[in-house]
Amino acid sequence: MKNKYDYLLVGAGLFNAIFAREASLDGKRCLVVEKRSHIGGNLYCENIEGINVHVYGPHIFHTSNESVWEYMRSLCNFNHFVYTPIANYKGEIYNLPFNMNTFYQLWGTKTPKEALSKIESQQLQVSYPENLEEQALSLVGTDIYHKLIKGYTEKQWGKDSKDLPAFIIRRLPFRFTYNNNYYNDIYQGIPIGGYNPIFEKCFAKADVLINTDFLSHRELTNKAKVTIYTGAIDRYFDYCFGQLEYRSLRFEMETLEIENYQGNAAVNYTDRETPYTRIIESKHFEFGKQPNTVITKEFPAPWKDDGEPFYPVNTTENNKRYEQYKKKAEQSKDVYFAGRLGAYKYYNMDEIIQEAIILYNHIKHLSL
């Protein structure tokens, strides 16, 4: 039957979950098509040893947007977790993000004045940092750059820091207080019980097809008037303007017969030689007291056609190519491109939620 559904939602990640929730509250019908064997996108958690393991990397919800926070709180209860990752540089331990604790560990400086003068003596003087290296050196100076940024960044992105956009490093706070909170946002927490129940709620009224690659079943668009596509935009258009670049990840998970492996949810390995960027011990997200623990090593990996694209690589060249796809997308009738992969943007979760609500409200009045 044609147009049995109001919306065809390609991808069962956060964007489409929020979209589906909004649509179903209005009594609209959604069909969800998901390539993987589960809903939840990269927020999916697997329960192992009674621990909600973040299987696609750590996801800490944080926002300064009051209405997004209230929205999420209508879907789950948050605990009081605050993300305070530790850096391990060749066996030396430092607090992150870069703050008075880090400066003390590096140089023994005790006051903001002492730390500032140390940093000023190392800062690169440049008016407009043109790449990540210049941005980092002009902000934090050489010691922090070489011990805590360069190795991690070049592993993470598989590129020289000089070839990466400056905005990536501006995601990290840099402050002259003894404050190890990785985020500057007002609200932060982990959903008690993990992320999966949120997705079950959002998709409760939708029909969901898992293990189904939409691009091999494009005929599914006939089932709905409007399609929301959250997969990679270049793949949708058969790479007609060439491939966009993504960065992928590979995860190695281990169950250990000890209660506490590293004493923290995340330890970043900031040297170049260690092949993984971080080890996540998921039980600490929910203050778990289980007798065993599960750790996940995160290995950055080149993205290949059959792999999972995790991060868009927003260099000038890639962004230019994306603009071509975006123009083509704007001409596609009744198809909207969204999410990190559809919009080729390094979004945080709160931005995704906001964008999904905006898009739904924008198109809900269009005649269906």
Residues engaged in binding ligand UDP (CB under 6 A): 87, 96, 148-149, 152-153, 156, 168-169, 171-172, 268, 270
Question: Closest residue to ligand UDP, Cβ-based?
Answer: 153
- Distance from C-alpha of 87 to C-alpha of 269, rounded to nearest angstrom: 6
Measure the CA dihedral 235/299/345/246, to 10°. Answer: -30
Shortest CB 153 distance to ligand UDP, Å: 3
Q: Is 10 helix (H, G, I), strand (E, B) or coil?
A: strand
DSSP secondary structure of 134-171? HHHHHHH-HHHIIIIIHHHHHHHHSS-GGGS-GGGGGG
Q: Which is nearer to ligand UDP, 32 or 136 (CB)?
A: 136
Residue 212 Cβ, how far from ligand UDP at the closest point, in Å?
Answer: 28
Q: How far is the CB of 282 from ligand UDP (least distance, A)?
A: 15
Beta strands across the sheet bearing 5-10: 207-209, 30-33, 5-10, 224-229, 335-337
Residue 221 identity: T
Contact in structure between 296 and 55 (CB atoms under 8 Å): yes
The CA radius of gyration of the chain, in Å to the nearest whole number, is 22
Min. distance of Cβ 164 from ligand UDP in angstroms?
7
Q: Which is nearer to ligand UDP, 146 or 205 (CB)?
A: 146
Residues 6 or more apart whose Cβ sits within 8 Å of residue 183: 60, 62, 83, 173
Nearer to ligand UDP (CB atom), residue 8 or residue 85: 85
Nearer Cβ to ligand UDP (96/265) = 96
**Cβ closest to ligand UDP, residue 87 vs residue 233:** 87
User: Please, what is the minimum distance in Å from the beta carbon of residue 75 to ligand UDP?
Assistant: 22
Residue whose CB is less far from ligand UDP, 264 or 292: 264
Q: Say how many CA atoms lie within 13 Å of 34 toward its Cβ.
A: 23
Joined tokens for residue 322:
């994306």
Question: What region, left, alpha or beta, does residue 193 occupy, with left being phi > 0 and alpha being psi -120 to 50 degrees?
Answer: left
Three-class DSSP category at 347: coil
Asked if 271 contacts 151 with a C-beta cutoff of 8 angstroms, the reply is: yes
Q: Shortest gap between Cβ of 145 and ligand UDP (angstroms)? A: 9
Residue with Cβ nearer ligand UDP (152 or 236)? 152
Minimum distance between the CB of residue 268 and ligand UDP, rounded to whole angstroms?
4
Question: Which residue, 169 or 341, is less far from ligand UDP as judged by CB?
Answer: 169
Tokens 């393991």 identify what position? Answer: 53
Closest contact distance (angstroms) between CB of 317 and ligand UDP is 18
**Tokens standing for residue 3:** 């147009």
Query: What are residue 26's phi and psi, to 5 degrees?
Result: -90, 10
Q: Which is nearer to ligand UDP, 148 or 352 (CB)?
A: 148
Smallest distance from the beta carbon of 40 to ligand UDP, in angstroms? Answer: 18
d(CA 224, CA 19) in angstroms, rounded, equals 15
